[in-house]
Structure 1
Amino acid sequence: MRIAITGTGAVSPLGVGADVLCEALLAGEVGIRRLPWRPPEDPSLLGTLHDSFDPRDWMDERVIRGTDPFARIGLAATAQALRQAGLEDALDQLRTAVVVGTSIGGSHSLTHGQWAFDTKGAEAVDGKLMIQIWPNMAASQICMRYDLHGPSLTVTTACASSLDALGTAARFIEAGLADVAITGGIEGARDPASDPAYEPATSAAESSYGMSTPSVDPKRAMLPFDANRTGIVSGEGAAFLVLESEAHARARGAEVLGWVRGYGSLADGYHPSSPEPSGRWEARAMELAQADAGIAPADVDAVIAHATGTPKGDAAEILALNGVFVDGAGRDDLVVTGLKGNTGHTGASAGAMNILAGMWAMRHGRLPNVAGTTDLDPTVRFDVVLHEPRSVDLEVLQVNAFGFGGQDASVLVTRS
């Protein structure tokens, strides 16, 4: 596989734009914050969208009224990616695929609709509710915005959704079914002014299910690979890429930002929320991506790990990385980082955000460190980027996303 990446876009807890996201990561900024609309005694934290995002910068009021916030941030990230690619007004209607990953879809509209019904009655429920909540509506809105009639799919594989979407989009191009693909992932933008119930409910669920322990310090709320890690803080955002066949990109003289070279995806078939403890299926997903690319583990320069900061999740990924790279290839020098200490766990968009950060590091030679983590898990046998960004010369990057329900995906990206 050799699929060109020619555009990137993001709306994240660290700002609007892929470059803004990556520069904020290198500056050590943290987008996790206490929720200002909750009472002081409420410990809930969230990687909320940055205050600079305004949907009116990206779409008209008619679209805003008819869409859930998750579709709005997807449209905004898509517009950025197409602008960078130089394809805003040059898409072939029949030869452009749209593949979007989301785990929940229009969660704001759903919870707000229930809240409106409970507090004000049936007449208060938005008549557009159903077309706002369906997960496919982000992809559909992108197709409507750009008058596209090629393949359009929505992938929902929990935290692996954006990598599975990207891999599927790359396969469309590889198979000759599309020349261009718009792809990425979105996780649940919330509107605090009119969605008072959603975040307390999800925070309580994560705590009661053992996925997180509430923290009072946003900068220590998520501790990937830390011996004292306590679990997940939810985040929100969208990250999108424009993919093209090499021939299409070359023919129009496009600047190629990087290349998708390999994709692996599988199910671990173990448990709804915990990975198979040995990490063997996560290792297998990485090996499938390497085999697809024809790239040996000895030639991978760095990994941006899934690294959620959950006790069981990180333990399995550590074993998988140890097995593939240290035991399998003698690579105790493998450089590994993760982003979730900065952004929170942005769910379906997390894998695509990792790719954006990795591509930025390839071009600019700086890889962000794992935010918050200070006491590294003693089972780690690779080189985790701690305390400050690392100067790097990256040619080959591997990105992992391991979702609830055992949805394991991995992608290899190269600079040339």
Structure 2
Amino acid sequence: MENVAITGAGVISSVGLGLDGFIDGLEAGRTGTRRAPWARPDEGRHAWYSPVPDFDPRRWLDERTVTGTVEFSQYAVIAADQALEMAGLEPSSDTGVVFGTAMAGASALAGAQHLLETEGPAAVPRKLQIQAWANLAAGHIAMRHGLHGPLMTVSTACAAGLDALGYAVRLVRSGEADVVIAGGSEHAFSEVLYQAQLNYGMSGGVEDPRLATMPFDTRRSGLVEGAGAAMFVLEGLDHARARGAEVLGVVSGYANVSDAFHPSAPEPSGRWEAESMMRAIRQAGCEPADVDGIVAHATSTPKGDDAEIAAINTVFGDRPDSLHVTSLKGNVGHTGGASGAMGVAVALHVLRSGRLPHLPTTEQPEPAARFHIVTERPTVADFSVIQVNSFGFAGQDSSMVLRRA
């Protein structure tokens, strides 16, 4: 089975723009958590989010594209441009695009409903449908570059970005496309969405922003919603080498399985999360002992982290000194459909630099973990195989294995 090379990466995040800016933010232990506009601390309503700061799409996009899109599409288009530039590639007309998102333009819909109720029908944006529909991000990437290859959008909750990459890998391996632009994006901020999370117990509403998102910490109470995108250029390894491209990393295994347990909670034993990890490892042609590091999903919710810790323990056994595990949620919050793709961006950095970023807000790691949870500072090691997990609502359990080229 052909390995698939990643030759370009682009990132929009709350801690930095571009792959280098993103990595610099992680290495510095930066966190993007900010007080949300709908917080009312004087009333005891402590709300936090992790937005992309000072984002002006007109720095990169023409006026027509800006007015016809909202943030989730804008992030994806800009990150795709970054990835293509890094890859040194002018895409051909048959290049494919595969995109993942969980909420797409949900915040735009919420905003439009508010305008309808407060200002009347004429205030509803006339381009609302083309701004909010999930497939428009991929569509704008294709239109921007004149692409006529496979065009696909997946919405598998928080696994969407990783599943988009997994589908892109299959397109390359099958020969349906020589090159695919793939990844995920998210921007789902609004008071009504936050209140729903709070009512459902997904967010803790704590007063201290550093306690708002604490992956694998014994004190964790819930997630912080984040925004951003990560997009990549994928191509066959031989194709990449033939054109003299620098290979950032190789996707050698990917799997997606269903929990079939609950609309939001994972199966408590982590059985099916472990199964997705094992299938990805087997497809990669390696053993659990070959995996050096994991970019975990680690949402900072009590049930979610417990299940993933159990799954990692099941797959890898006792490896407190040789299996190093991190997560991005303490830095950028939970970026929904972009989270797995952002994890792949981290994996590429680790494979190239030998540095696995730490969890900046985690200080009291779960004692149940039989692996090294990376806190305080990045871990430096000879990393050659990294696994990325992405687990979404409705039991969307996905995992990917990446190697050095």
Shorter chain as normaliser: what TM range?
over 0.9
2:293 maps to 302
In structure 2, which of residues 256, 270, 294 is the aligned counterpart of residue 265 of structure 1? Answer: 256
2:269 maps to 278
1:93 matched to 2:96? The reply is no
TM-score by length of 2: 0.96
**Displacement of 1:331:** 7.0
Cα distance between partner residues in 1 of 2:108 and 2:196 = 19
Conservation of the 8 A alpha-carbon contact between 2:7 and 2:235: yes
Cα distance between partner residues in 2 of 1:3 and 1:49 = 30
1:74 maps to 76
1:379 matched to 2:368? The reply is yes
Secondary structure at the counterpart of residue 192 of structure 2: helix
2:60 maps to 58
Cα distance between partner residues in 1 of 2:11 and 2:53 = 11
Conservation of the 8 A alpha-carbon contact between 1:106 and 1:188: yes
Alignment of 1:132-143 (within 5 A): 132-143=131-142
Conservation of the 8 A alpha-carbon contact between 2:16 and 2:24: no
TM-superposition CA deviations, 1:170-196 (whole Å, max 9, x none): 100000000101000011165xxxxxx
Conservation of the 8 A alpha-carbon contact between 1:325 and 1:332: no
The 1:305/1:168 distance shift into structure 2, 3 A limit, reads same
1:120 matched to 2:119? The reply is yes
Q: Which moved more, 1:253-262 or 1:352-361?
A: 352-361
Alignment of 1:350-361 (within 5 A): 350-361=339-350
Q: What code does the residue aligned with 2:49 have?
A: L
Cα distance between partner residues in 1 of 2:122 and 2:309 = 52
1:175 maps to 174
**Displacement of 1:153:** 0.5
Secondary structure at the counterpart of residue 351 of structure 1: helix
In structure 2, which of residues 369, 374, 392 is the aligned counterpart of residue 403 of structure 1? Answer: 392
How many residue pairs get aligned? The number is 402
1:24 maps to 25
Conservation of the 8 A alpha-carbon contact between 1:271 and 1:405: yes
Cα distance between partner residues in 2 of 1:243 and 1:111 = 35
**Displacement of 1:108:** 2.8
The 1:307/1:213 distance shift into structure 2, 3 A limit, reads same
Secondary structure at the counterpart of residue 401 of structure 2: strand
Conservation of the 8 A alpha-carbon contact between 1:73 and 1:189: no
TM-superposition CA deviations, 1:202-234 (whole Å, max 9, x none): 222112111121122222211111111111111
1:315 maps to 306
Q: Which moved more, 1:118-127 or 1:331-340?
A: 331-340
The 1:189/1:73 distance shift into structure 2, 3 A limit, reads farther
Q: Structure 1: any 5+ residue segments left out of the alignment?
A: 191-197
**Displacement of 1:38:** 4.5
**Displacement of 1:86:** 1.0
1:290 maps to 281
TM-superposition CA deviations, 1:25-63 (whole Å, max 9, x none): 110100011125754434110011122x32112110111
Q: What code does the residue aligned with 1:272 have?
A: P
Cα distance between partner residues in 2 of 1:109 and 1:233 = 19
Q: What code does the residue aligned with 2:46 have?
A: P
2:49 maps to 46
Cα distance between partner residues in 1 of 2:142 and 2:15 = 27
TM-superposition CA deviations, 1:50-86 (whole Å, max 9, x none): 22x3211211011101112111111111110011011
Conservation of the 8 A alpha-carbon contact between 2:186 and 2:227: yes
TM-superposition CA deviations, 1:292-331 (whole Å, max 9, x none): 111110100111110111110000000000000016xx67
Conservation of the 8 A alpha-carbon contact between 1:361 and 1:392: no
1:218 maps to 209
Secondary structure at the counterpart of residue 334 of structure 1: strand
Cα distance between partner residues in 2 of 1:189 and 1:222 = 17
Cα distance between partner residues in 1 of 2:336 and 2:304 = 14
Conservation of the 8 A alpha-carbon contact between 1:69 and 1:189: no
Conservation of the 8 A alpha-carbon contact between 2:292 and 2:322: no
TM-superposition CA deviations, 1:263-313 (whole Å, max 9, x none): 010110000110001100000000110111111101001111101111100
Conservation of the 8 A alpha-carbon contact between 2:104 and 2:188: no
Cα distance between partner residues in 2 of 1:59 and 1:85 = 20
Cα distance between partner residues in 1 of 2:367 and 2:359 = 16
Cα distance between partner residues in 2 of 1:131 and 1:242 = 25
Q: What code does the residue aligned with 1:205 have?
A: A
Q: Structure 2: any 5+ residue segments left out of the alignment?
A: none
Cα distance between partner residues in 1 of 2:203 and 2:58 = 35
Secondary structure at the counterpart of residue 333 of structure 1: strand
Conservation of the 8 A alpha-carbon contact between 1:32 and 1:46: yes
Q: What code does the residue aligned with 2:241 have?
A: R
